[in-house]
Amino acid sequence: MKKIFLSMLLFGMALPVFSQEIALLSNVYAREHVLLNGKWNYIVDPLENGYYDYRMQPQTDGFFINKKADPTELVEYNFDTSPIMNVPGDWNTQVESLFFYEGTVWFKKDFTVEKKSATRYILYFGAANYDTKVYVNGQKMGEHIGGYTPFNFDITDAIKSGNNFVIVKVDNKRHRDNVPTVNMDWWNYGGITRDVLLCEVPETYIEDYFFQWNKEKQGSVYGWIKLNQPVANQDITIEIPELKLKQNLKTDASGQAAFELKAKPQLWCPENPKLYDVILASNKEKLNDQIGFRTIQTDGKKLLLNGKQIFLRGICIHEEAPFRSGRAWSDEDAAVLLGWAKEMGCNYVRLAHYPHNEHTIRMAEKMGILVWSEIPVYWTISWSNPDTYANAEHQLHDMIYRDKNRCAVVIWSIANETPHSAERDLFLSKLAKYARSQDDTRLISMAMEITRNDNDKTISMKDNMNEYVDIISFNQYMAWYWGGNMQDWTRATWNIPYNKPVIVSEFGGGCLYGFHGDKTTRFTEENQEALFQCNLEMMERIDGLSGLSPWVLVDFRSPRRQLFGIQDFFNRKGLISDSGNKKKAFFVMQQYYQQKTEQYK
Ligand code: GCU
């Protein structure tokens, strides 16, 4: 029981003090809601003229009041006569003139409500990149920093029955102290990039909950439920019909209730992604979820899923929409991307380099695909800035908060390819401890870097973060960024002095689909194919190799890839082209994973 109460305390969240921002609604799609997706009017505002006056002071009557001008008045904006854009969606791939745009775009959507008594109205955004301010009927609801995590506001007191409008200011400018910082190898897609929901909940509602399976104690399902109000003696029922489990609970003075029920569920695994209908009910609402039960642990250099050694047959995936490019956000996008991973023979995906949308996580769960989920603490972060740390920790919190009941997620990653320094070690060790404090049921990792000796072909891992992670993961680019002959590297000597499982979180090289030639010629499919064959031979020599996630499933847009005629602002390391064509190296991985599947049966 102690463990349960501890975990109940762990998911509390320190919210920045904004007028209406509230704790995230868990399992938002199961709530009574309408989607505000669709056509939104937009106004491009590169100098933030709709927010600041000409002395750079915030205006009280900015674009957010949506002023209606009579013919005698000077009003230099009008949403209703402005162009429209699809939400969810990035502006870069919807409006040609905004392809490279980094700045502010304002969005407006009208919506109607028939207000009910004793009901709260929560406006929920799956994500918006990067700095977002939200106004309803001209009143500021709050703001959010970060491009890949959800946020929501209680807008009840700002709306009326009948017509209302929401206006959103989204600014995707990069800043040195942001998370990520100014330099990254992916497109800085701006906009309201995920679903927008208007949810209805009772005054006192089930805000959050956690279900976990505990293999000790002969197997029990344990967890907790939290109301949005600190009210005691509220009746809550939890039920898992298929396990014939039902229990009536009473909340304590903090509005929370813990439970532990003896159970023998079928354990979720890639071969049998079993999910159970879970029903949570108070006297005012009923909430359904589909939850899987499993354990993930390490034993020395072994990775254990449900106590059985597993090899993670993975691939890295950016949240880039298949075929159309731009930010992916839908069930359909997730089905295509994860379908390609499955076709390769994957049982695991590394969702790089930021939390992906909830549809992808839930789709992975249904398809039996394990997930590495990561926050964008990427490359040269401002390690000494306390605001940068707070931002990273908030994004980490929200990633864990949203997906803590998603059994497919087995690894929380806190960083990617970060340069060694005392400040970086302090920042990341604090972040790793925080992640474990929020969720001690999953594994912690990060994509480290290795050092190599080009003369004696020794590859060494030395990272002070080794003691804070459960899995030693690193990116390596043999014979792509490294010099030397790829054949020579196949005989590499590995020196990884940590008794933990090893995942190679990135490897590979680029090629343009359909460009053929000698295997030593860069950007040919033959070069990428040979690169993969040699990489696999080299990595098979790693003691404790427990997983691979080649870089990357599909070619993706990047402002760092300017080679005209080959890259054209695409990173071409995909095993599939941006048009959906499988390159030769795709089949190298497919064959290797067939062998791995046999080996770990
Ligand atoms: C790095 C980085 C990726 C990047 C890749 C590349 O390892 O983690 O984000 O896209 O290398 O250079 O293609």
pLDDT in tens, 303-346: 999 999 999 999 999 999 999 999 999 999 999 999 999 999 99
Dist. CA 419 → ligand 1 center (Å): 14
- pLDDT tens track for 54-98: 999 999 999 999 999 899 999 999 999 999 999 999 999 999 999
- Atom 6, ligand 1: which residue's CA is nearest? 185
**Are the CB atoms for 151 and 126 separated by under 8 Å?**
no
Task: Give Cβ neighbours of residue 500 (< 8 Å, ≥ 6 apart).
Answer: 298, 300, 301, 466, 469, 470, 471, 472, 544
- Residues near ligand 1 (Cβ within 6 A): 185, 353, 416-417, 475, 506, 551, 571, 573
Nearest to 158 by CA among 138, 184, 129, 143: 138
Which atom, in ligand 1's list, is nearest to the CA of 571?
13
Which atom, in ligand 1's list, is nearest to the CA of 481?
12
3-state secondary structure of 580: coil
As a three-state string, the secondary structure of 425-490 is: HHHHHHHHHHHHHHCCCCEEEEEEECEEECCCCEEECCCHHHHCCCCEEEECCCCCCCCCCHHHHC
- Atom 7, ligand 1: which residue's CA is nearest? 475
- pLDDT at residue 483, as a whole number: 77
The tokens of 464 are what? Answer: 């002070």
pLDDT at 545 over 60: yes
Q: Domains plus CATH for the chain?
A: 31-202 (2.60.120.260), 204-293 (2.60.40.10), 298-599 (3.20.20.80)
- pLDDT at residue 215, as a whole number: 75
**Are the CB atoms for 376 and 395 separated by under 8 Å?**
yes
Dist. CA 447 → ligand 1 center (Å): 11
Dist. CA 450 → ligand 1 center (Å): 14
3-state secondary structure of 550: coil
- pLDDT at residue 217, as a whole number: 67
- Its sign, for the CA torsion 224, 229, 231, 235, is negative
- Return the best residue to mutate from 185, 319, 523 for the ligand 1 pocket (most ligand atoms within 8 A of CB): 185
Dist. CA 441 → ligand 1 center (Å): 29
Task: Give Cβ neighbours of residue 337 (< 8 Å, ≥ 6 apart).
Answer: 317, 322, 328, 360, 553, 554
- Return the best residue to mutate from 351, 449, 475, 553 for the ligand 1 pocket (most ligand atoms within 8 A of CB): 475
| Mean pLDDT value of segment 120-130 | 98
Which atom, in ligand 1's list, is nearest to the CA of 506?
7
- pLDDT at residue 23, as a whole number: 94
Euclidean distance between CA atoms 224 and 226, whole angstroms: 7
- Atom 3, ligand 1: which residue's CA is nearest? 185
- pLDDT tens track for 130-160: 999 999 999 999 999 999 999 999 999 999 9
For the ranges 213-227, 254-268, 301-315, 387-401, the lowest mean pLDDT is seen at 213-227
pTM: 0.96
Nearest to 406 by CA among 461, 450, 356: 356
- Atom 4, ligand 1: which residue's CA is nearest? 185
Nearest to 360 by CA among 323, 340, 332: 332
For the ranges 112-126, 210-224, 365-379, the lowest mean pLDDT is seen at 210-224
Q: What one-character DSSP code corresponds to residue 202?
A: E
Dist. CA 103 → ligand 1 center (Å): 25
The terminus-to-terminus CA distance of the chain in angstroms comes to: 36
